[in-house]
């Protein structure tokens, strides 16, 4: 990374159980803001709701970043938004144009290119966030549960394009994340406007599965805390902070 970058401590591993887990532990040992972990292969990668994230060696960008943002907890969504946008922007530099599915999946069409998982915690009395991205570079193994609904950089680029390695994506993602993260701290309204512009969930009919049941309606906005505002058929708007979202097809 360039001199003066926040992300100068980039640690690359042949294999880790989880880059997020590694950085959470390192934060407890005093790792600095901006520490980055990259793994060529993860043995126990996890997505949202503790779902397993499978990828073959060098088959995905598997990277986590430790940050210690000076923002209140109700603004932590800005950090995930900053990385989601960075993933989109980095993919675009290689000719693939993803959109964001709320809260932070990256899609091409309706197929998942990348997922993001953030963990907020207290590290020695100092608030910290570890945020990880798993971005598919090649198709997932055929036995993976997620394979039928996923896509990859290889699958979306023209036939014959060089296969990308994780190293190809590390610097572009971090460079865009650094710019977006700075904007999250200094100009959050601008960052959220960019997020909304990229968010394919807005103006769509959706079903959101919550801890207790599900709701359906039109996704009308994402508020500044990251909650999805869903207008139900009775006209009532509900702010959803956590839930699995399905984009419904027009009937």
Co-location of 182 and 236 in the same domain: no
Number of independent structural domains in the chain: 2
Nearest to 197 by CA among 80, 75, 48, 81: 81
Co-location of 29 and 47 in the same domain: yes
What share of the chain has pLDDT > 90, as a percent?
78
Co-location of 142 and 38 in the same domain: yes
Co-location of 48 and 106 in the same domain: yes
Written as six digits, the tokens of 56 are 């073959």
Q: What are phi and psi of 30, to 5 degrees?
A: 100, 15
Residues in CB range of 211: below 8 A, 6 or more apart: 242
Which CA distances in Å does 220 have to 50, 101, 201? 28, 13, 9
pLDDT digits 0-9 by tens, 54-77: 568 899 999 999 999 988 888 999
pLDDT digits 0-9 by tens, 126-145: 899 999 999 999 998 776 77
Co-location of 56 and 151 in the same domain: yes
pLDDT digits 0-9 by tens, 8-40: 999 999 999 999 999 999 999 999 999 999 999
pLDDT digits 0-9 by tens, 80-123: 999 999 999 999 999 999 999 999 999 999 999 999 999 999 88
Structural domain of 220 = 205-247
């Amino acid at each position: 990374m360039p001199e003066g970058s926040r992300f100068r401590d980039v640690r690359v591993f042949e294999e880790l159980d989880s880059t997020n887990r590694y950085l959470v532990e390192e934060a407890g040992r005093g790792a600095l803001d901006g520490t980055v972990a990259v793994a060529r292969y993860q043995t126990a990668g996890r997505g949202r709701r503790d779902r397993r994230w499978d990828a073959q060696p060098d088959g995905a960008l598997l990277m986590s970043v430790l940050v210690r943002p000076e923002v209140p907890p109700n603004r932590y969504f800005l950090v995930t938004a900053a990385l989601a946008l960075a993933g989109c922007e980095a993919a675009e530099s290689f000719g693939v144009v993803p959109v964001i599915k709320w809260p932070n999946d990256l899609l091409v069409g309706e197929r998942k290119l990348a997922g993001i998982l953030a963990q907020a915690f207290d590290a020695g009395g100092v608030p910290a966030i570890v945020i990880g991205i798993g971005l598919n570079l090649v198709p997932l193994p055929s036995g993976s549960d997620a394979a039928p609904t996923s896509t990859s950089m290889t699958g979306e680029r023209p036939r014959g394009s060089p296969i990308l390695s994780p190293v190809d994506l590390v610097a572009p993602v971090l460079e865009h994340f650094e710019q977006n993260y700075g904007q999250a701290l200094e100009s959050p309204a601008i960052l959220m406007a960019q997020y909304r512009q990229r968010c394919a969930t807005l103006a769509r009919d959706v079903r959101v599965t919550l801890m207790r049941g599900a709701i359906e309606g039109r996704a009308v906005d994402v508020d500044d805390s990251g909650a999805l505002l869903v207008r139900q058929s009775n006209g009532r708007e509900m702010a959803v902070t956590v839930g699995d979202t399905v984009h419904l097809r027009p009937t």
